[in-house]
Homo-oligomer: A and B are copies of this chain.
Amino acid sequence: MPKSRTSSSADNPRHNRLLAALPEADYERLLPNLQQVSLPLGTVMYESGGTLGYVYFPTDSIVSLLYVMEDGASAEIAITGYEGLVGISLFMGGETTPSRAVVQSAGYAYRLKAAFLKKEFDIGGALQHLALRFTQALITQMAQTAVCNRHHAVEQQLCRWLLMSVDRLPSNELIMTQELIANMLGVRREGVTEAAGRLQKAGLIEYSRGRIVVVDREKLEVRVCECYAVVKKEYDRLLV
């Protein structure tokens, strides 16, 4: 998938918001250990219970944390993009989590060896501080997902999902079939088709065969449930 790389926003570690927030000295220490990797759509970064060798700092990719149940049904728990990192269990002390991380939007990330990260984290400096604040933001996102799953209609959840994804992308276009969105939201594909059809008719989005363009962000923000704003506000508050 990685066609001839063009120099883009993905090519600088500082395009990850956490790395960007590090003081120069800490950043310099990390830099030689950061390794850019390409993340094709669908890559499974870790499996439920599996150990993770690296933490990943996405630049222009988006990663979904999702839980797959015994019967195969799934639900997204949270997503992470350039504003965060993948692999919190490494520094939280548990090493693994009972969830799966999948690349939801292809792109690049910088990775850091688990052992190196732990060492840096234990120094107790800026990296620890940032990582913990990010984790709290992630917690808010998960909590809000729980609430949203309980109380809100599929259409609203789709709006939330679209907005959260677009927020993490350089353009307003996502490569994603309705089938996959349905998996993420933990609903039927047909439910997504209907909701997306309504949104398209109302002129908020345009889509065709696995490609969705958000054409009217403002209107999307009107239709979405409160959950989107709550999470966004908390991310803005906690991450710089």
Contacts and interface: CB of A to CB of B under 8 A. Distances in A.
Interface of A: 65, 67, 69-70, 73, 75, 77-78, 88-89, 91-94, 97-99, 122, 124, 129, 132-133, 135-140, 142-147, 149-151, 186, 226, 230, 234, 237-238
Contact of A93 (B77, B92, B93, B133): B133
B92 A133 contact: yes
B73 A151 contact: yes
A175 B140 CA distance: 29
A97 B186 CA distance: 26
B124 A75 contact: no
Given A69-B147, A151-B73, A151-B186, A97 B142 contact: no
A86 to B, nearest CB: 14
A234 B98 contact: yes
A124 B119 CA distance: 12
A180 to B, nearest CB: 16
A136 B98 CA distance: 11
> Helix, strand, loop or mixed for chain A's interface?
helix
14 contacts: A67-B146, A75-B151, A77-B146, A92-B135, A93-B132, A93-B133, A93-B136, A94-B137, A99-B143, A122-B124, A142-B143, A146-B146, A146-B149, A147-B149
A186 B139 contact: no
The 5 A-B pairs at the shortest CB distance, nearest first, are namely A146-B146, A92-B136, A149-B149, A149-B150, A93-B133
Contacts of A93: 129, 132-133, 136, 238
Contacts of A78: 143
A226 B78 CA distance: 20
Contacts of A75: 146-147, 150-151
A126 to B, nearest CB: 11
Nearest to A152: B69
A136 B99 contact: no
A229 to B, nearest CB: 10
A122 B122 CA distance: 10
A211 B69 CA distance: 33
